[in-house]
Copies of this chain bind each other. A is one copy, B any other.
Amino acid sequence: MARAAQAPRAQYDVQRLLAVAVTVFIERGYDGTSMEDLARAAGITKSSIYHHVESKEQLLRLAVDRALEALFAVTEEEGVSQGRAIVRLGYVLGRVVEVLCAELPYVTLLLRVRGNTETERWALERRREFDRFVRGIVVEAAADGDLRADLSPALVERLALGMINSITEWYHPGRVDIGELKATVVTIVGAGLRGAE
């Protein structure tokens, strides 16, 4: 539970510093993290941090930008434009699980952003844009008759993405198999949407 001193081996560049910062941001919250906290975790002084970045907010911006890039990359993949909507939906949701696990700390931070600063408001808007992309596919699936008639597409999108996003609350690499995780999510959502009874 105690945060031990970090190995001060190599010197820092922005990416290494960012990795440390994101870890601390997740542990203590962005607002709850002081530059002094970051300095301690990185094993350097506050001043040294300012050699690499202009501000604390820039660290946040770099982090959420990385997460957003990874998510929007999915919207350009072949799997999102091939085949029936219900199949494409399964593809996208599975890929989001994978991106979330691959870029865990960055996506985790993105999902915790609330909108206090300009950076946070921009991140929230881009997140909503991604959500709308997914919702579009759910709407298509509904039009295809592949969604139970008693389910609202908008609600389904929110609950499905909410389930997936909640993975950041507990996932640790290695403790759960990503394949199983992805399969479980797609099974629950997939069966739930078409579901028999």
Q: Give me the interface of A with B, judged by CB distance under 8 Å.
A: 27-32, 112, 114-116, 148, 150-152, 155-156, 158-163, 165-167, 169-170, 176, 180-181, 183-185, 187-197
Chain multiplicity (copies): 2
Kindly report which residue of chain B lies nearest to residue A111, judged by CB atoms: B169
Q: Which B residues touch A191, using CB under 8 A?
A: 191-192, 194-197
Q: Which B residues touch A189, using CB under 8 A?
A: 188, 192
- Known contacts A31-B32, A192-B195: does B169 contact A156 (CB below 8 Å)? no
- Known contacts A116-B29, A163-B162: does B169 contact A155 (CB below 8 Å)? no
Q: Which B residues touch A169, using CB under 8 A?
A: 158, 162
Per the bound structure, the CA–CA distance linking A150 and B187 in Å amounts to: 10
